[in-house]
Amino acid sequence: MSLRLFGEDVLFLQRFLTSAGFYKDELDGRYGENTDKALTEFEQKSQEIADEFGAFDPRSERNIRSLQLKAQRVARVFLRTVRDAEIEARIISGTRTYAEQNNLFRQGRFGNPGPKVTKARGGQSNHNFGIAWDVGIFRGGEYLDESPLYQKAAEVGLTGELEWGGNWRSFPDRPHYQLSTGLKLAMVREKFEGGQVIV
């Protein structure tokens, strides 16, 4: 295997694979045979979904494959629909480990260079459970931080299975999409940390 999902964070990988229904062994943070087997199975399923729903650019692929399987399906349908509307969209962020989320939280805080990009610490974002992604819109390969096309992407791509961050009153987050689980974040976290299947 080339690049391992979630790098050196084996404990996070095990939690993720447990909540995805593939890993049933101890959460010991050691990359053993059962972890490898679960990851291989997960990656096979991810590939089947890519074959069925179509693949995208390498960055989108990497991020989509970091999501829970249901989120992978929904993300691929979403991205296909948005691209069919001639919007040059990519999925520029998928699942983040708790450690990665904490690093992001530190940006713009505690004397670190800004800007602040998130209000969530590790375990406080749906990105930490494999059910959220961020879209980036590009023009001629150049990333657009602000563009009316973020609104347009939501207009064409939003379905009943999805919640769009652009609709959040207090902190609109237009690149952000997540599966509608009907669950509060704390409950999703409890399931994730308790090794239950989320979606």
Specify the stretch interacting with Zn ion by CB under 5 A; choose among 5-13, 60-68, 79-87, 170-178: 170-178
The rounded distance, in Å, linking the Cα atoms of 130 and 40 is 17
The DSSP string of 64-124 is HTTS-HHHHHHHHHHHHHHHHTT--EEEEE----HHHHHHHHHTTSTT--S----S--TTS
What's the length of the chain? Answer: 199
Beta pairing class for 132-139 and 89-93: antiparallel
Min dist. Cβ of residue 7 to Zn ion (A): 20
Other beta carbons less than 10 A from residue 160's beta carbon:
6
Min dist. Cβ of residue 162 to Zn ion (A): 12
| 90 sits near Zn ion (criterion: CB under 5 A) | no
Q: Identify which of residues 134 and 163 has a Cβ nearer to Zn ion in the complex.
A: 134
| 176 sits near Zn ion (criterion: CB under 5 A) | yes
Specify the stretch interacting with Zn ion by CB under 5 A; choose among 29-37, 39-47, 142-150, 176-184: 176-184
Min dist. Cβ of residue 134 to Zn ion (A): 4
Interacting residues with Zn ion between 105 and 124 (CB under 5 A):
none
Min dist. Cβ of residue 119 to Zn ion (A): 11
| 163 sits near Zn ion (criterion: CB under 5 A) | no
Which of 104, 105, 131, 134 is the binder for Zn ion (CB under 5 A)? 134
Q: Identify which of residues 92 and 183 has a Cβ nearer to Zn ion in the complex.
A: 92
Cα Rg of the chain, angstroms: 17
21: left (phi over 0), alpha (psi -120 to 50) or beta: left
Contacts of 59 (CB under 8 A, 6+ apart): 90, 91, 92
Min dist. Cβ of residue 31 to Zn ion (A): 28
Six token digits for residue 19:
């909540």
Specify the stretch interacting with Zn ion by CB under 5 A; choose among 47-55, 59-67, 137-145, 168-176: 168-176
Which residues contact Zn ion (rule: CB under 5 A)?
Answer: 134, 176
